[in-house]
Amino acid sequence: EPEVTQTPSHQVTQMGQEVILRCVPISNHLYFYWYRQILGQKVEFLVSFYNNEISEKSEIFDDQFSVERPDGSNFTLKIRSTKLEDSAMYFCASRGDRGLTEAFFGQGTRLTVV
């Protein structure tokens, strides 16, 4: 069964550094999402991406964040100048079509900012 894969599984970074979280969505999917989950809290929407552009973003997704689909298979989330409060599990998800179908989640990247 196809899966969304994310790398790395765990990333530790110094405050102020830039990190890039990588995702490989399911190959024929068209809609891509990033969510984050602070420990013990709900899964929060960050951004959706379709047709090579951001289709929607939340208030959390400020200028510190950016997304890119550099090569047609990878989907990356870049966090510039990380802050302690960016520590969370980041999930990538993808969905196949415009119908109301299931979003498939990756296994997540745990980001720890120290």
The contact set with another protein (CB under 8 A) reads 4, 31, 33, 35, 41-45, 48, 56, 91, 95, 98, 100, 102-108
> What is the CB neighbour count within 10 angstroms for residue 7?
14
Sign of CA dihedral 19, 62, 49, 45: positive
Q: How far is the CB of 49 from another protein (least distance, A)?
A: 11
At 12, give phi and psi (nearest 5°): -110, 130
Task: Count CB atoms within 10 A of the CB of residue 14.
Answer: 9
Q: Which residues pair with 65 in a beta bridge?
A: 79
- 66 forms beta bridges with 78
Between residues 53 and 71, which has the closer beta carbon with respect to another protein?
Answer: 53
Of 68 and 97, the one with the shorter C-beta distance to another protein is 97
We find the least distance from the C-beta atom of residue 12 to another protein, in angstroms, to be 17
CB-wise, 81 or 88, nearer to another protein?
Answer: 88
Q: Is the CB of 9 or the CB of 17 nearer to another protein? A: 9
Q: Closest distance between another protein and the C-beta of residue 114, in Å?
A: 21
